[in-house]
Structure 1
Amino acid sequence: MKIGALKEPSFENRVSLTPDVIDALQKLGFSISIESGAGNQAFFSDSDYQQAGAKVLPKSELLGDSDILVSIHQTDADTFSKIAKSKLYIGTFSPLAQPTKFKEMANFGMKVFSMDMIPRITRAQSMDVLSSQATVSGYKAVLLAAANYSRFFPMLTTAAGTITPARALILGAGVAGLQAIATARRLGAVVDVFDTRPEVREQCMSLGAKFVEVEGAADASGSGGYAVEQSEDYQRRQKEAIAKYAEKADIIVTTALIPGKKAPVLITKEMVESMRKGSVIVDLAAVMGGNCELTQNDATILHNGVTIIGNSNLPSTQPMDASKMYAKNIVNFLKLFVNKEKQFNINLEDEIINTCLIADQGEIRHKAILSLLT
């Protein structure tokens, strides 16, 4: 089987396959082609791929030469029209967030696997692109906050006096939130963290954060690590608790997402206006409307002296390591399709494969996506 890695859109710096995974894919029985220039923005040259054993081809040749196409973002309609229906297309397509756009892609008839639909089970951890890329987002969110913050993060004792440490509030203790906690603590901030799941308390405390709990949250154990919708009474008490901590926070990083739905508003306009000037909010849920009422996706605004950063693609700002992590997720996913004799087989009895095959022969297979289209 031949795999072809497509060049990403101009706004994306990452690439779906990196030179360091070429050998592993070849050992599985695949031959690899990369679209010319696909790795440039992630600092992988065409010669890097060639030295690793991959072919570098223009897009027109790549599309005709590959049995399996891989990317991060969904490619354009013109490219789809040139891809044979018999081919497999693997990427991260956010079908729950943009079902209509995904339906348009599915109409071209390929077998489409969306990596962001991988079930969050133990066996799938090595191929969980949401977790690998959330690690990057949580880390970079704190660095971005530090770069825009008007003061130091750590406590400093100087000849000019003592500088108190920054207070960071992390909303959501999933993968991104935990990485944000760890990074903020490394920089010397005092960290408070809020999550609706009491079972993450120990993880947060082990990283040096204070865990803020509001009792009575809906059970999120079956949500795959995501937030779930809460009752009106809980939301009221939740906002009251968050407001107390937001008022004294210098840095807020928000990470709460509910699959296929608008992000819950956790930071209101009034909360922002209660924060002291020079503070920073980094909203990682910006692409789904934001956890802050004032967030604008892909924009940085200043409101009442508070900087609010809505960046939905922070992994693209750390393209080399983010690409390497994504590429390893792809390799581990493709291992599911190869048996001991290196024969390729789509085994729909495998829970991971079955869940990720979102479209086949022009038909949407996933019930949740179908419900969003009706």
Structure 2
Amino acid sequence: MKYRMILVLVILVIGISIPSAFATFNGSEFSDVDLTDWHVGYVLTLSDMDVVRGYSDSTFRPDATISKAEFIVLAMKTSHRHYQTAENEHWAMNYIRAAEEMGAIEPGDAETMALDEPINRAEAARILVRTQLTEDTEGCESYIERVKDYEKIPEAYQTYVLKAFAKNWISGYPDGSFQPDNKVTRAEASVMLTKSMGQEAQLRMKQMLDEAEKLLQREIEQAEDLRESILDKAMDMKGVPYRFGGSSPNTGFDCSGMVSYVLANHGVVVPRSSAAMYNAVEHIPKEEMEPGDLVFFTAYRSGPSHVGFYVGEGMFIHAPSSGGSVTLDPVDDPSYWGPRFLTAARVH
């Protein structure tokens, strides 16, 4: 949680891309997987072991459901069985036939199981156990008491669910239920598959997480340095005269001109007007405001017509109005800015 708070606080403001950092140590780029995601270790491990891959747009889509065919293929890969993609038939048929031969799925299942439909938790448990050839059932019955909705699991899947529980490949929900009909997401499948691979995968995941933590810490340190630099640059603008439409310290600034100038000097591009800027950033509660965040106000017209940088201790720096210059003012100034405060925001 600590790292997540720091990441949201720092990384988003300065535009550093965490997903692109994956490529520095695991050869993958998943634009929708962050180093702070609960599933990151499992996804990175399977990617590093060339079990899972992202889509052509560099996404992993962790919250998307995984199909029956996809799960069978990945389960076969985790048991070190690799086949060519089939041609002139369903792309997974070479894996499907091999899964039938080894008893991972019932003969003829491929014809009736709707391969491209999402797999549910009960089906995933049976395929996972069968592909891993786990025959040991000792002590499995004791897990019945831990599954609140055990009777709702179809009888054909009950033994496999208990085996998966016993092996700690699949766990229940916080309320003690298993929810056998729930669809499995790609993130959840990554957890199941990694756990089923045993000690080798667990050691690999530890290495990946250790490296990810080091990388995250480096990114945080770099982000903090850059945040400080942004605020220093903004403070350097203090005293520059106000000029409507101005965007240069040589000729003067208006409010959004000053903000966009400072950010652009650090490689962060935002819309030029305060209204467009307001619509392009992530709004946050005032109580979560931190130095480097943007603050928006209603000034000469309704809506977001003024913007500046929050600098801490209740103060913000901005280009106020004609006849003035870039200066510091209290965000909660009761005579003007306080009643006109709209929101704080973070730059994506």
Normalising by structure 2, we get a TM-score of: 0.27
> In proportion to residue count, which structure has more helix?
2
- Could you say which structure has the greater relative contact order, defined with CA pairs below 8 angstroms and 6 or more residues apart? 1
Structure number with larger C-alpha Rg: 2
Give the structure with the larger strand fraction.
1
